[in-house]
A and B are shown apart, each in its own frame.
Chain A
Amino acid sequence: MSTVPRFWRHIPQRYNLVGTHCENCDEYYFPPRTICPNCRRDAKMKEYKFAGSGRVVTYTTIYNATDDFKRQTPYNLAIIELDEGPRLTGQVICSPGEIEIGMRVKPVFRILGKEGERGIIYYGTKFVPAEGPV
């Protein structure tokens, strides 16, 4: 069992896809980075809220999960490239046959997991197929 602060501190990123933008090199980061790997000490980092739309770079369908996710199998997991450039790992809600490389996706707010009947419920972003431009 984890304590509440462990999840609480990531709420802006996991609920609203808040990352950072380096105004020195114009690169975007998610999750937020304090130090820009391109500019290091010359970085000018500013908070940035991503729209969350992007495309599937690669994906898998998980049939054998850790205990926390067993109830959800089979589920799709993908690496998604956001339109601003950074990539992240997240679930894509659709049937296993429907997901493909290059597919456009948009974010949705969902329950990600629960620590037992009385434990913490944690929320965050999943993705769904986007029809047309998003």
Chain B
Amino acid sequence: MRFMRSVSIIGAGCTRFGERWDDSLRDLVVETGIRAIEDANVSGEEIDGLYVGNMSGGRFVEQEHIGALISDCAGLSRLHVPSTRVEAACASGGLALRQAVLAVASGYSDVVIAAGVEKMTDVTGGVAADALAAAADREWECFFGATFPALYAMIARLHMHRFGTTREELAAVAVKNHHHGCMNPISQYRTEITVDKVLKSPLVADPLRVLDCSPITDGAAAVVLAPTDLARKFSDSPVRILAAAQASDTLALHDRRDMTTLDASVYAARKAFDQAGLEPKDIDLAEVHDAFTIGEIVAIEDLGFVEKGEGGRATQEGLTAIGGKIPVNTSGGLKACGHPVGATGIKQAYELVLQLRGEAGERQVEGAEIGLTHNVGGCGGTALVHIMSR
């Protein structure tokens, strides 16, 4: 697949992630929308369309029809801008970004906003857990007692059994991402943790513990896209999108070819590297889907940064920390920065925009030129990979 024309990000915005008790879904949308639109320096009349990723407004705030809602909240109702909500569980944000890229790349639209939002703390923990479990196979996994952490725990167990990955290596992912999160002003958690603290946190689904899991988070993010030819009109530092790839796999984990690999990630990455004409070694930094610590270990293997089975050791040796060979999740990742499911894929792009512009402050990756985002729906039913350059 080829783009009909090159696409760039001309503006980006993100809310602070966390338990935003004082703010509704609508407040979060307005906050992030204003930031992105001001950053892009576009007027309402110039916006040709919106795509919004939202996993479960219906369960979390009893509100569907999020497309029209965000257009309305953004003050665009009188301009009647087409607005489309897309859903792929935790990959809804990445999916919104790819749909927006395709709309601009095809030549159909010029200026398009890709947004993501999730308001998760208006329901109790049990309701939130059940809403998230809807990303798995309701009839043949959840019905028998599966939870989301349980599915990733079964991936972790098999990875440990087959490759000798250790409990300490899993913990190293959480420790690193909390360290990165401490340097990110929007991060939900800005506290250092230790391997010992992870290993002493309560069991959720053995071998995964509380500090292996990403939290329940409120948040929203948005990026503004334009054809690269027009990008300089709006921005002095546009970020070019080199690839936007997507792949799918079986809904249920038990039907996968290999349960230590997310084939959807492998296929999306392969397509993305092909589109961009690049290889894994060309990537300077990546935001990957660490909903659980094992998720990051499997991701860096599936994306080709390390050999299969080496993800745990590579993390423990510091390969993926800021200052390492391939910094991963400089934002703090889903683990520390937080995981408002529909917004995560867009927040990943937001982090890359800051890094590629050289605006990431104390967590800046020196000389960052090319970055990659990796967003997963469920435990691998959908995967999206984007590659961007400054």
Contacts and interface: CB of A to CB of B under 8 A. Distances in A.
B154 A63 contact: no
Contacts of B367: none
A68 B126 CA distance: 9
Interface stretch (B20-28, B58-66, B139-147): B139-147
Interface string A62-84: 11111111101001011100000
Interface string B152-166: 011101100100000
Contact of B147 (A57, A66, A79, A124): A66
A20 interface: no
Contacts of A63: 202-206
Contacts of A68: 130
Interface size class of B (residues with CB under 8 A): 35 or more
Interface centre among A90, A91, A122, A124 (most CB of B within 10 A): A90
A101 B154 CA distance: 11
A67 B161 contact: no
Contact of B145 (A14, A77, A96): A77
Interface stretch (B71-79, B102-110, B249-257, B342-350): B249-257
Interface string B40-79: 0000000000000000000000000000000000000000
Given A10-B139, A58-B161, A60-B157, A88 B205 contact: no
Interface of A: 10, 14, 31, 57-70, 72, 75, 77-79, 87-91, 96, 101, 112, 122, 124, 126
Given A60-B157, A62-B205, A64-B149, 15 more contacts: A31-B140, A60-B150, A61-B203, A62-B150, A62-B206, A63-B206, A64-B204, A66-B126, A66-B142, A77-B145, A77-B146, A77-B150, A77-B154, A89-B141, A124-B143
Top 4 A-B pairs ranked by shortest CB distance?
Answer: A60-B153, A67-B126, A87-B254, A58-B158
Interface of B: 126-127, 129-130, 133, 137, 139-147, 149-150, 153-155, 157-158, 161, 202-208, 252-255, 259
